Each structure stands twice: as C-alpha cells, then as structure tokens.
C-alpha cells in the first residue's frame, strides 16, 4: 500500500488510464466523474474519508472515469496485483466481499433516495441515511440537487422541527 499526499483538484487517474490499483480516501473526499458528450461533468461516485473506491479496476485494464480530489490530504493506493493475490486467501476474500456488499447496499440506498421526487423528502431521507458528510454543497451533489434547493429544503425541515441547525452549515436530525 502506498500513501499519497494530494492537493485539491489533483487527478488520481483519468478515464482510459491503465489501472494499477484501488484506493482508500484517508481524510478527504474524492469525486469519480465522467464527462458527457456535451461536456457536462457527471459525478458517478463520491468517496468520503475512510471509504474505498476504484474497486472495478481490479478486473479492468483501464479506469472508466476520472478521480478528482476535493481537498488537500492523503489517499492510499493498494496495488492491483497485491489485492488479486490476496483474494486467494479465504479470510481476505471474505473480508473484501463483505466490504463490497456494504458498498452495494449503500449504492442501492442512494438510488432509492434519488427516486424521491419531493426535494424536502429527499433531503430528509439523505439526512436519515447519514449522507450529510462534509459541506451542504457536497451533500446536494450526493442527492442530485442544486445547493439552493437543498438549503431551501433544510430550512423547511428546520422550521418543521425535524432538523436542528445549531450553527451555520451544520444540520442534524432533531433528537426524538
């Protein structure tokens, strides 16, 4: 495993680059993005501190997106051949599969949240799921809303007493 010090805006890899490993975001957020034919940036995954990303690289010759760091900090790169070799060990393979199953569960949960049409209900479901990690702007991107609509929904939830706003930019569920 290699530790990499990164700066905000660094590309860990680009779409089409040859794969060399998977990553763990130590203390930063990393956006995995694709660029549409029209030039629009589409975020396909948001890796938060402590989470793995680029797992598909183990079974692919090239990365299928760009990975862009959102802050200065550190990521770990785990060599592709080391992980593939480790999968020969039953305990390692089980632990790796368990980690992947958690990520699949989270992805399905997010898909369910994104299907909610009401902005307020989507934001509330995102809060319940613990998706507000970092800034409200990052949260808005995670739940596929503009930050303006997200702030409006948060204000409504605060007014209804469902959410607390103890300080600027901090929101949490109302204690029941």
Residue 129 within a domain = yes
DSSP 62: B
Place 176 in a pLDDT band, splitting at 50, 70 and 90. low
**Confidence (pLDDT) at 133:** 79
Region 152-171: mean pLDDT is: 90
Domain that holds residue 156: 113-169
Residue 74 within a domain = yes
Residue 41 within a domain = yes
Place 158 in a pLDDT band, splitting at 50, 70 and 90. very high
Residue 97 within a domain = no
The structural domain count of the chain equals 2
Condensed to tens digits (0 to 9), the pLDDT of residues 130-140 reads 888 778 888 88
pTM of the model: 0.71
Residue 17 within a domain = yes
**Confidence (pLDDT) at 121:** 95
SS3 annotation, 9-40: CCEEECCCCECCEEEEECCCCEEEEEECCCCC
Residue 103 within a domain = no
Condensed to tens digits (0 to 9), the pLDDT of residues 71-91 reads 999 999 999 999 999 999 999
């Amino acid at each position: 495993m290699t530790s990499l010090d990164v700066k905000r805006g660094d590309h860990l890899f680009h779409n089409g680059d040859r794969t060399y490993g998977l990553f763990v975001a130590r203390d930063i957020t990393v956006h995995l993005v694709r660029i549409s034919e029209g030039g629009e940036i589409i975020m396909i995954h948001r890796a938060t501190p402590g989470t793995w990303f680029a797992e598909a690289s183990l079974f692919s010759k090239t990365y299928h997106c760009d990975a862009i760091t959102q802050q200065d900090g550190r990521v770990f790169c785990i060599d592709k051949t080391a992980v593939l070799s480790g999968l020969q060990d039953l305990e390692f393979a089980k632990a790796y599969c368990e980690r992947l199953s958690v990520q699949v569960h989270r992805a399905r949960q997010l898909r369910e949240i994104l299907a909610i049409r009401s902005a307020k209900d989507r934001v509330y479901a995102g809060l319940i799921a613990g998706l507000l990690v970092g800034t409200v702007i990052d949260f808005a991107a995670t739940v596929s809303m503009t930050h303006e609509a997200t702030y409006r929904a948060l204000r409504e939830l605060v007014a209804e007493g469902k959410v607390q706003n103890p300080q600027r930019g901090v929101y949490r569920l109302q204690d029941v």
